[in-house]
Amino acid sequence: MQELFGKLADGTRIHRWSLENGGTRMKVLSYGGIVQSLEVPDRQGRYANVTLGFTRIEDYVDASPYFGALIGRYGNRIGKGAFTLDGSAYQLSVDDGENSLHGGEAGFDTVVWDVEPFERGTDVGLHLSYTSPDGEMGYPGTLTAKVTYTLTADGDWRIDYEATTDKPTVVNLTHHAYWNLAGEGSGTIGDHELAIPAAHFTPTDPGLIPTGELAPVAGTPFDFREPKRIGRDLRAGHPQLLAAKGYDHNWVLDKGITAEPQEVAVLRDPSSGRTLRIASTEPGLQFYSGNFLDGTLVGPAGRAYRQGDALCLETQHYPDSPNHENFPSTVLRPGQTYRSTTVHSFPT
């Protein structure tokens, strides 16, 4: 089902699609490819929207910290918004101190995507496409991005990303859902249990740019190899947690880049019994513990979002890869196709 959601200041009409399959319901906006809500049942079969969002387009345009949005051309930060490729230096739009975050000032979370619904066998979904002009936000090459959201008969939400370019460029697409499995507006995620199969993470400088080191998680608050309450070590006073106001780091997934999606995180809320299992082809996972939510935004339930009221699990290549030769490459060249897949399952 498609309906008019609202209009941008310039009159552009923003539509909203509602999808349902296998017990999962979601609403998607053409603006930013935003997943406005995602509803799944708890252990008693009661539905709740487990993602943060807004009810009005104006709030997304004015104040959204990437709630539910597609992120491009580059998920997470590029130091000083600068990199060199094939001997040419590029300066990107800088929107986070001196750094470029999530594609720059007007990233893929702020553009209007073309949306085509589809049904294929027992799947339902949406094809989203956007062509980013050569030079947009400082990135070289015309980037043709295609993202497919699929809801499967099992209630899985699958994202397939694809991109091509007409000049050498860098690309790192992801999705910025904020999860609270007890329901948005229900309080903090401190009691959610999280597991991440990663023996290393990428420590950052004070501007949250990776230093280049792959540090062991063993014996640190960053060890999520066994399921752990998010709140357990959050206040441990580790210098990396102090600098980021909590978790806001890239985990180096043990599995590396894979042809098929493999498990990268399991999140469980003991109170509701809801579980989110994420599988991906990507080598990295940004776990962000909602550190910048400061009680100034109000969600659909009419409740303010405060620090730690949700978390993000963003599948990705590592932040600032264009400036680190030891990180998996994010370079895309003409004739190549960028591909990435992430699957969210909600086992009960």
Residues marked active site are found at 176, 314
Least spacing, CB of residue 288 vs ligand GLA, in Å: 3
Which CB sits closer to ligand GLA, 245 or 303?
245
**CA distance to 25, 48, 117, 155, 281, per residue, from 22 (Å):** 9, 15, 17, 4, 23
Which CB sits closer to ligand GLA, 151 or 313?
313
Among 26, 50, 101, 189, binds ligand GLA (CB under 6 A): 101
Q: Which residue is nearest to ligand GLA (CB)?
A: 288
Tell the burial category of 144 from Cβ atoms under 10 Å away from its Cβ (0-12, 13-18, 19+). Answer: middle
Tokens of 329: 């490459």
Which CB sits closer to ligand GLA, 145 or 312?
312
Using DSSP bridges, classify how beta strands 169-170 and 215-216 pair: parallel, antiparallel or unpaired: unpaired
Query: How many residues in total does the chain contain?
Result: 348
Least spacing, CB of residue 303 vs ligand GLA, in Å: 19
Tell the burial category of 202 from Cβ atoms under 10 Å away from its Cβ (0-12, 13-18, 19+). Answer: buried
Among 32, 53, 65, 322, binds ligand GLA (CB under 6 A): 65
Site for ligand GLA in 282-311 (CB under 6 A): 286, 288, 292
Site for ligand GLA in 304-343 (CB under 6 A): 312
Give φ, ψ of 186 to 5 degrees: -95, 0
Least spacing, CB of residue 287 vs ligand GLA, in Å: 8
Residue count, binding to ligand GLA (CB under 6 A): 10
Which residues are CB-neighbours of 161 under 8 A, at least 6 positions away?
145, 146, 147, 173, 338, 339, 340, 341
Which residues are CB-neighbours of 134 under 8 A, at least 6 positions away?
140, 141, 142, 166, 167
Which CB sits closer to ligand GLA, 151 or 170?
170
**CA distance to 185, 205, 268, 317, per residue, from 50 (Å):** 9, 32, 12, 25
Binding mask 215-254 for ligand GLA (x = CB under 6 A): ---------------------------------x------
Site for ligand GLA in 160-219 (CB under 6 A): 208
CA 191 to chain CA mean position, Å: 21
Which CB sits closer to ligand GLA, 147 or 208?
208
Tokens of 200: 């290393």
Which CB sits closer to ligand GLA, 17 or 222?
222
Among 5, 17, 66, 305, binds ligand GLA (CB under 6 A): 66
Residue written as token pair 């904020």: 178
Single out the residue of 307, 309, 312, 313 nearest to residue 292, CA to CA. 307
| Residue 76 in contact with ligand GLA, rule: CB under 6 A | yes
Tell the burial category of 284 from Cβ atoms under 10 Å away from its Cβ (0-12, 13-18, 19+). Answer: buried
Tokens of 337: 């196709």
DSSP 225: S
Least spacing, CB of residue 117 vs ligand GLA, in Å: 29
Least spacing, CB of residue 338 vs ligand GLA, in Å: 20
Which CB sits closer to ligand GLA, 19 or 230?
230
Binding site for ligand GLA (CB under 6 A): 65-66, 76, 101, 208, 248, 286, 288, 292, 312
